[in-house]
Homo-oligomer: A and B are copies of this chain.
């Protein structure tokens, strides 16, 4: 992509109402523009990162056996009356009346709708276990939206819903999502710790939040240090028996503020291992049994022919919020440092003299070679001065910067910089490409 034909409106300074670094950097890097309180437009660079994060979430859901569908943003109020949540949900629910005076709402979550889909089609235990997920825009009318996409009102969420014949099977479904989440966040370069959590308006008796530690986190968290450095299980696990992996985490103390028990923290955790920190919630999983299937009559015929209410769980990832969490965890004074797996482009090629035909030719050859090797490339072909180009490249955080100027062309070399380490090398293009990998 040529920068001269792209739309990358970077800002010298962030607006003063952006309080946290991820919000400031997303605005400065031309990733988002606020359109109303807590409602953002995703500019091209922001959308590219959002798409990559969404794709990682999707792949790990599918690997864990979940099947994707897509529910609409608007729902009938009557559906929520069946579960009793229409009145219970409070002012965070955006309630809407259409031209025929029918009551709708903008979905803040989808337990009721997926239960309605399930009961409409599934009649036998033979179709179970089933886990259905979608990645769709949600709306929660936060009283004080803030921190950019971290606490927005219109936000992108992945929500999965599992259906099982009994509690034992439902807990296996819960474990699959537990492990899928560990893998998902690890692929994005995040260290996310599962913590016992309050179930809130979703309900149920078993719930974990996945928390990324960051100084700007919205809530206090308490955990055993060992959990932070524990590697993700990876894809090569027995997806039908994950209890040992889950137990390996849940046997160590980790709790959000609402669930914290100081005495237990002290007795369960060795002296040097007690970590008290701020955290950002990036995922939340729930097992809630028949909380929705009972009132909404979602039943299947069991092996004995008897109708049984299905056991359910739900599993959310804050897809748009993850951009903020990743930036909070990965930036420096010059800007964002994208982990390779979620970067908007793999490489930025910087042309130091855009009016020099030889330099342009060398740049275009480099772009072509990189793209042929499967890399996504942003080509800064503008007539901005070099200092400005370097500053933009650092700000937007592309993992590799490949710079070409008249001197390099004369000598047959390029300059390669790794954004994360700042390390620079001057070397021929083919060696630079090997380094990029």
Contact = CB atoms under 8 A, between A and B. Distances in A.
Interface of A is mostly: mixed
A119 to B, nearest CB: 11
Contacts of A37: 102
Given A41-B117, A42-B70, A141-B99, A75 B5 contact: no
Contacts of A71: 35, 41-42
A70 to B, nearest CB: 4
Interface stretch (A43-51, A258-266, A276-284): A43-51
Contact of A35 (B113, B122, B137): B113
Contacts of A41: 69-72, 113, 117
A83 to B, nearest CB: 15
A416 B143 CA distance: 60
B139 A74 contact: yes
A272 B102 CA distance: 51
Contacts of A50: 70
A47 B72 CA distance: 12
A422 interface: no
Interface in A63-102: 65, 67-76, 79, 91-92, 94, 96, 98-99, 102
Contacts of A117: 33, 41, 43
A94 B139 CA distance: 15
A47 B33 contact: no
Rank and list the top 9 A-B pairs by shortest CB-CB distance, nearest first: A9-B121, A42-B70, A91-B99, A41-B71, A99-B141, A36-B76, A39-B72, A72-B154, A47-B70
Interface in A357-393: none
Interface in A109-125: 113, 116-117, 120-122
A137 B73 contact: yes
Given A7-B132, A96-B94, A141-B98, A39 B69 contact: no
A156 to B, nearest CB: 9
Interface string A185-209: 0000000000000000000000000
A68 to B, nearest CB: 6
Interface residues of A, number: 52
Contact of A67 (B6, B96, B98, B102): B6
Contact of A42 (B69, B104, B143): B69
Given A7-B132, A33-B120, A72 B40 contact: yes
Interface string A165-185: 000000000000000000000
Contact of A74 (B33, B36, B99): B36
Nearest to A121: B9
Contacts of A75: 35-36
A130 interface: yes
A104 B74 CA distance: 15
A58 to B, nearest CB: 11
A310 B121 CA distance: 52
A320 B92 CA distance: 29
Contacts of A139: 74
A9, A79, A132: which has the most chain B beta carbons within 10 Å? A9
A133 to B, nearest CB: 10
A69 to B, nearest CB: 5
A67 B39 contact: no
B102 A72 contact: no
